[in-house]
Amino acid sequence: MTTVIMACPTCGFVIADFTEEQMAAEERVAKRYQYLKKKQTLCPNCLIATKRLKELRGAEADEAKAAAPVFSGEILTPEEVEGFEEAEAAETPLLDELENGPWPSHVTELKKSKYHMMMYEEGMRLRQTQWGFGGYVSLPGVAAGILVRASARPDIARGANFMRMLAPSGGYYTTDMLRTVCDITDEHAYGLLHLHSAGGDIEILGIPTEDLEPTVKALNEHGFDVGSTSDAYRNSVDCLGMSRCDVALTDSMGMRDAWYKRYLDDVQYPRFPHKLKVRFSGCPNDCARAQQKSGIALVGVFRDLPRVDGDRLTEWVGRGGDMNAIVRMCPTRAMIWDGKSLEIDADSCVRCMFCINKCSYAIRPGVDRGVAIVVGAKFRGKYGPLLGKVLTPFVPANPPDYNEVFEIADRVADAFDEHARRKERLGDMIFRVGMDQFTEWVGVEPSPRQMAEPRTNVYYHWKAEELGR
């Protein structure tokens, strides 16, 4: 087999290695190779930014791999390292003031960690954080796993690395799991965690460069995975689903577990033009905010009408329930209540869950359940915040593999991979090319449900030849 390596052009450290046979047989490996070929990265060994990695093949690659340096943890250039000493603890009058008063102080707890308190003190004095932006570091086996936060005050601290640990579905931790993560953090990092971050993962803060690889190994030995940075699938977020919610329509936690079994490589190895977020919501209430914050949102839905238990509804009204208010507030005016029985118009009802939320005692979701795939949501980007747009209103969700759902998600990711510009989010790409073009790339039939504003501004679908052009 012919070896192919991608290495740092400065120190020769091997970032990734493949074989030509792997690239020919596995499309994901080929895309990963193409991504690394163009990637601007930081070498984890020397932490020098490289515009392009060095590519070697065959015998030359084998020799370079054998001679490649081991992970050393050297920081930046020798000139910058020479004579460097981190600042010792000094007086922190501004932080000390935050410890005064009757309330518990976060400063007191922070001083128990290995955090550079002088960075905080200087930030308070100058009224501006002394931490800057950094970049991504590719470790062997975790090409998208590590982030570097640069220091604006190298006289105090060189910088800080942090990594994202993928959280269990639903955010359910055992006490043993949390103790293990805390022990690893105390040993290798500041002793501080972001739990949970906005992405639904755990971030381990302040890992010295020389401890990056041991930290990954320690987490892996205890069954934890890391990743969710760079231009890859980010950590996916899910709601509690059927474990706690009585109106959940799909097993969002089970779907997320199946997702990771299928796509863990794409979480840890970047291959997309930009990051791609996926979230799972068990019903249209969307407690995971999937339709606001994820490029691909998988939302539990039902196709038949809500089920109404007449006896229970009469009992609920008799106890003071206001059915007239629910009918009046129905978004599509799909309900008729004559004081004794409730009718729902199948053509008008959009299965929004409003009536179910207001009277779950008597009105329940239908039984024909599946998943709606919503695409293009985000909070930041070129065109600002964008809500997701319905791609497919209903796909069967069959556990344990959910193949029907993931096959469409695969086509979405492939269209994004092929047509998006560099550093362009999925929502920005759809905004730029239009929903017509995107549905054609994905191979999905256009639907009236693909609309910008319900009932007022639907997308029009036509082809040029239909207009006589």
Is 0.85 surpassed by the pTM of this model? no
Which pLDDT score, from 0 to 100, does residue 226 have? 87
Q: Report the C-alpha gap between 320 and 188 in whole angstroms.
A: 59
Question: What pLDDT was estimated at residue 99?
Answer: 93
CATH 3.30.413.10 in the chain, residue ranges: 237-302+370-467
Phi/psi at 178 (5° precision) = -65, -40
Residue 312 makes CB contacts below 8 A (sequence gap 6+) with: 361, 362
Could you tell me if 236 and 253 are in contact, meaning their C-beta atoms sit under 8 angstroms apart? no
DSSP assignment letter at 285: T
26-42, pLDDT tens digit by residue? 877 787 787 777 766 66
- DSSP string across 26-79: -HHHHHHHHHHHH--EE-TTT--EESS-EEEEHHHHHHHHHHPPPP----S-HH
- CA–CA separation, 324 vs 328, rounded Å? 6
DSSP assignment of 82-105: TT--PPPP---HHHHHHT-SSS--
Per the CB < 8 A criterion, the answer to whether 285 and 355 are in contact is no
CATH C-level class of 237-302+370-467: alpha beta
Intervals of CATH 3.30.70.2500 along the chain: 95-230
Residue in 356, 352, 239, 350 with CA at minimum distance from that of residue 289: 239
Pick the closest to residue 369 from 449, 283, 427 (CA basis): 283
At residue 143, the pLDDT reads 64
Architecture of domain 307-364: 2-Layer Sandwich (3.30)
Q: In 144-183, which positions are buried (b, 16+ CB within 10 angstroms) versus exposed (e)?
A: bbbbbbebbbeebbbbbbbbbbbbebbeeeeeeeeebbee
And the tokens for 166?
Answer: 């993928």
User: Which neighbouring-strand residues pair with 340?
Assistant: none
In terms of CATH architecture, what is 95-230? 2-Layer Sandwich (3.30)
| Residue type at 3 in one-letter notation | T
Helix, strand or coil, per DSSP, at residue 300? strand
* Tokens matching residue 268: 């840890």
Report how far residue 9's alpha carbon sits from residue 13's, in angstroms, rounded to the nearest whole number: 8
How far is the C-alpha of 381 from the C-alpha of 426, rounded, in Å? 10
Mean of pLDDT over the chain: 85
**pLDDT value, residue 24:** 86
pLDDT in tens, the chain (469 residues): 788 888 888 888 887 788 888 888 887 778 778 777 776 666 766 656 667 788 888 888 888 888 887 665 444 443 443 443 444 557 889 999 999 988 999 999 999 999 989 999 999 999 998 887 666 666 666 666 678 777 888 788 877 888 889 889 998 999 999 999 999 999 999 999 988 777 888 999 998 877 888 998 999 999 998 888 878 899 899 999 999 999 999 999 999 999 999 998 888 877 888 999 999 999 999 999 999 999 999 999 999 999 999 999 999 999 999 999 999 999 999 999 998 899 999 989 999 999 999 999 999 999 999 999 999 999 877 788 899 999 999 999 999 999 999 999 999 999 999 999 988 999 999 999 988 899 999 999 887 776 655 555 455 566 677 766 6
